[in-house]
Structure 1
């Protein structure tokens, strides 16, 4: 009976064992903390953090600093993909797999993913060895393909087939070695679909890569969905592989690539995350055309209960007053009449200025703009003054005749100012006759240059 109880206790203790994540970075960095996240598609959830311990050692007579860190994982930590982040600005993370075993690795903080070496964790060691070996084999194959394109008279078919056989041999070796392991879906999905014969032209080569890029990837596999793997491949496909020098062609390629990617995703929550991720990526380059395209053709077609109303409102309001947009509408009283921005028809262009009588820059620039535009009959100014009250504004606007004057009370909290994302005064917007924003000048000099070119 005692032996049975001891065995049960041992099994229970094993099931509840707390594993560790340990790492070293050499050289160390100017940072105190390492943060641990669980990665699930385009999202990452904070787990815990720990301090970096700094040690010194001698290298060829010189002192070298080594940073180390150690996490004790919470009990019942879920199996999956994890990430340690050690630099909040710029690239500073290492991804790894946790599957109920201790994980230990070392890396160079300036190029972590290229330098990381796992010394503990069977899952991570086998995957890292696979990535290194398959990369070498694929690079050999690709170099033969490139050489064949550059030198079409060379007969490299036998050499190519031998290299392709090696690629497939490496793939089989690691698929067999990872049988039953959590890491196997990553190995399956990592193999490129290389053609059986040499391709004769660069155009056919790129076309084949684009057409077959996702052939080995299972977009329904839960292991892949709950990692950064598919999101990383989506990023490569949309932003790297589908590339053109011509801006118009590039926009078309973006649309084709996001359509193809999203057509492959059947899991609705992941599709939502993927669309939101792509929108955020296009936000970085202020590509409003693609942001609108993703909302109209993909996000808005998701089930209503899946869509995030807050995400839509935040993104659409963020870009409401960007170049290319129709300026958000507003109304005001002027000479006992109600005027509306969208209905103004007294000029070919408009200069919308958000300013304030309490702003010293405004008081210096506004009179100069008035003088500059005094004889210009094609441009009309709409001066939107952000004030706490109307006292100073009432008198000051009299010095600026022939302008449209709008009083915006509550200053920074004014609804229109918030719609236009006004964070400083003066802020300028140049509009065409249809009230489309055609420029957002940075300063007075910029204002004059743009207006002179109208």
Structure 2
């Protein structure tokens, strides 16, 4: 009896150990028909980038991806040496095998021990079939140009195919609720916009309703805190589209919507981190004037309060300096004063300039683009400076006074308020005005508030003209 118990106990221990080994880490076997590749890459999506996670080498006809730690859930790519690839679902099931033909991976795919990938490829086969049908109908539609009856008939058939695609997605979501790919399909859904517009109080159609409805329902079904979605193509692309294409590109609107998304992503550390990084990065590097206001607002809320837990002291120091610099030169704020020496070594203060509009231009005598901008700006200034009550405060970035004076004469800009940046009583102009390159142009109003910045010469003059005409119109109302 004791021997029997010992054997049973030993058997149970071996079984448990075997199950534990099977369920820990990952082991994904890939077999390719007629492939000469010596190795394959396992690649993960992450935001809008790809990350190599593993390499498998050919051994006895099989490529074996294997690791002691489980992979994080997402859609992964198995990449061939010719850069072609097929996708697979990696979630709870991480011990499975896949066999296919590299020339036709979807149609020839065979999956073992992965219900997620069985369902995924069943869906892919069906959606590809509908895609081919849709393509054929659209080609026939174009070929039938001039035959309205035929085109109307084809249009109806295309509608039927589109409905079949919708039904296929909804069926998958219903059958596989909570699975990774079901969540991907949910997240990728487009809002069904109503075709009938509501009426405004005056009885006319509310033409803004479609936009408002689309915006309000754009993220229906999108789980911002599902970390798995971050490792699929949908997470980053949909957020980017919303931020850059759907939202009105005004700082107040972008700040509000960015914070709303970040807070929805907060329950998960990875999605929270990604959303904070994405919105601050995009707003800091944007070429759209005024977007630095978004960067400053998000930076203050998340970086300067310690919420960006992943950044080290060096990065945080850089971010803090950048946020504080840009915060002082946002559009609408009073421009920092500069007191610098002119060509006669007299001190000239920016805030002492009396004008309705002040153009502040930072330029370098050796800068070819500066020469071009000045040559275009100067004739306009001579002709229109008095009309628009405009002055130019030109800050030279070179310490060589002989060279500086020579360029003033050459460019015929003696009528500017010319000052030398390095000869200053006020803090370094690079830090005050975030001068990274030349030329850099700021436009100030009569109170020295920043109207616009980082403009070209023609943008500057057009801005002045528009502001002047708007002020004149308002005065005459």
TM interval, shorter chain, is 0.5 to 0.7
What do residues 219-238 of structure 1 show as CA deviations (whole Å, max 9, x unaligned)? 45554467564444444555
The residue aligned with 1:75 is 68
Query: Aligned ranges for residues 61-210 of structure 1 at < 5 Å?
Result: 72-82=65-75, 96-99=88-91, 100=94, 101-102=96-97, 120=111, 122-127=115-120, 129-130=122-123, 171-172=170-171, 175-176=174-175, 178=176, 182-186=180-184, 200=196, 210=215
* 1:207-229 deviation line (CA, Å, top 9, x unaligned): 66555444434445554467564
Is the 2:251–2:293 contact (alpha carbons within 8 Å) kept by the matching residues of 1? no
* Aligned: 1:306 with 2:317: no
Structure 1 residues 71 and 206, CA gap change in structure 2 (3 angstroms): farther
Measure the CA separation in 1 of the matches of 2:276 and 2:436: 29
- Larger gyration radius, structure 1 or structure 2: 2
Query: Per the alignment, do residues 450 and 272 of structure 1 end up closer, same or farther by CA in structure 2, a change over 3 Å counting?
Result: same
Q: 1:332 aligns with which of 328, 340, 347?
A: 340
Native 8 Å contact 1:117 1:128 kept in 2 = no
- Pair 261,50 (structure 1): closer, same or farther in 2 beyond 3 Å: same
TM-score w.r.t. the length of structure 2 is 0.54
Preserved CA contact (<8 Å) 1:238 1:254: no
Tell me which of 368, 376, 397 is aligned to 1:386.
Answer: 397
How far did 1:345 drift?
Answer: 2.3
Selected match of 1:404 from 415, 418, 437: 418
Q: Secondary structure at the match of 2:340?
A: strand
Partners of 1:22 and 1:71 within 8 A in 2: yes
Q: CA shift at 1:126, angstroms?
A: 1.9
What SS does structure 2 have at the residue aligned with 1:76?
A: coil
CA distance in 2, matches of 1:392, 1:172: 78
Going from structure 1 to structure 2, the CA distance change for 1:272 and 1:337 (only over 3 Å counts) comes to farther
* Distance across 2 between alignment mates of 1:170 and 1:230: 18
Deviation of residue 405 (structure 1)?
1.1
Question: Do residues 216 (structure 1) and 221 (structure 2) align?
Answer: yes
Number of residue pairs aligned between Structure 1 and Structure 2: 386
Which secondary structure does the structure 1 equivalent of 2:264 belong to? coil
Q: Aligned with 1:306: secondary structure?
A: coil
Q: For the structure 1 residues 107 and 394, does the alpha-carbon distance in structure 2 shift closer, same or farther, using more than 3 Å as the test?
A: same
> Who is 1:267 aligned against?
266
- Secondary structure of the corresponding residue to residue 350 of structure 1: strand
Contiguous gaps of at least 5 residues in structure 1: 25-32, 54-69, 87-91, 109-114, 141-159, 244-248
SS of residue matched to 2:116: helix
- 1:74 Cα deviation from its structure 2 partner: 3.9
SS at match of 2:391: strand
What root-mean-square deviation, in Å, do the aligned CA atoms of Structure 1 and Structure 2 show?
6.2
